[in-house]
Copies of this chain bind each other. A is one copy, B any other.
Amino acid sequence: MSDMATQTRRPLADDIVRELKIEIRDGVHPAGARLPTEADLCRRFGVSRATVRTALKELDVLGLIRTQQGAGTFVRTRPAVRDGLERMGSITESIRRSGKEPGHEYGRRTLRQVLPDEAERMGVPSDTEALELRRRVTADGDVVAYSYDVIPRGLLPAAFDPEELSGSLFAYFETELGIHPTLGLAKVHAVSSAHIAWGPDAAKHRLFVLLDQLHYDDDHRLLAYCKTYFVEGSYEFQLVRTA
C-alpha cells in the first residue's frame, strides 16, 4: 500500500499558504513584522477563521511564522544564510546563484532494472525498470560534481528517448514532466576513491562529499535516487541547523 493521493479539490487553506509564503519571501511582511490578524485574513480571503488558522498552523510548523496568544502572528527572523543544504534545489540553480555558469555533460543514459541495493534504498520492487544517468556538473567549465542518478521508468513518458535529456535534471522534471520535487532524504558521506571521477580531470579528483539522496514530490512519490559526488573544495556546503 502506498501514499498515492487520489486527486481531490485543493483545500482552500493551501491557497492561503501559497499566497502568504510568496508575500513573506518578497518582503511584503518583513522579518519580525506582525502579520494581519486572523480576522483580517478571513475578510481578505473570504474564508472562515478555521481555514485561516489551518493555513497559519502550516506556516508555523514550517518555521516561517510564530504565533503568540494575545499579541499576534509574527514573521520569524531568519538566519542570514538562507538556501543552505537543508533546502531542496537544483545544483544548477545554486551554481548560477554563485555567479558561475553551470553545465552538464552526460556520460551514459541506460534503461535497466534497478540493482538490489538500489531497490532496497528506494523501497521499490527489485524488477523495477529505471533510467540510469551518469553526469558531470560543471561551473565555468570546472567539474564540481559527478552524479549517478536512477529514475523509475514509470515517471517518464511512454515514448521516451534518453537522448532528449540534457541539462538540469530538476529543470526537466519541472518543465517537461510537470513534477515538482519538494522533499529530499539525503545521507552525507566522505568518499575517497579513484573510481568515481571520469574524464580528463579524473586524476585530480580523489576526495568527495557524497550526497546519497532520495527525491520525492508533494505526495511522497519517489522521483529519483541520486548519488552526487561533490569534488571536495569546489562546492560550498552551508547548513542551517535549528532546535
Contact = CB atoms under 8 A, between A and B. Distances in A.
A87 B243 contact: yes
A188 B8 contact: no
Interface string A184-205: 1111111110000000000000
A88 B186 contact: no
Nearest to A190: B190
A238 B86 CA distance: 11
Contacts of A63: 183, 220
A158 interface: no
Contacts of A61: 57-58, 61-62
Contact of A209 (B189, B233, B236): B189
Interface residues on A, range: 35 or more
Contacts of A237: 187-189
Contact of A190 (B5, B31, B76, B232): B232
Interface stretch (A35-43, A77-85, A96-104, A124-132): A77-85
Contacts of A232: 189-191
A243 B3 contact: no
A16 B213 CA distance: 32
User: Which one of A1, A6, A68, A243 has the highest number of Cβ atoms from chain B below 10 Å of its Cβ?
Assistant: A243
A208 interface: yes
A83 B72 CA distance: 29
A242 B191 contact: no
Contact of A185 (B123, B192, B216, B240): B240
20 contacts: A1-B31, A53-B54, A54-B57, A57-B57, A57-B58, A63-B183, A87-B242, A87-B243, A88-B243, A183-B242, A183-B243, A184-B241, A186-B238, A186-B241, A187-B239, A189-B209, A190-B190, A190-B208, A191-B232, A192-B207
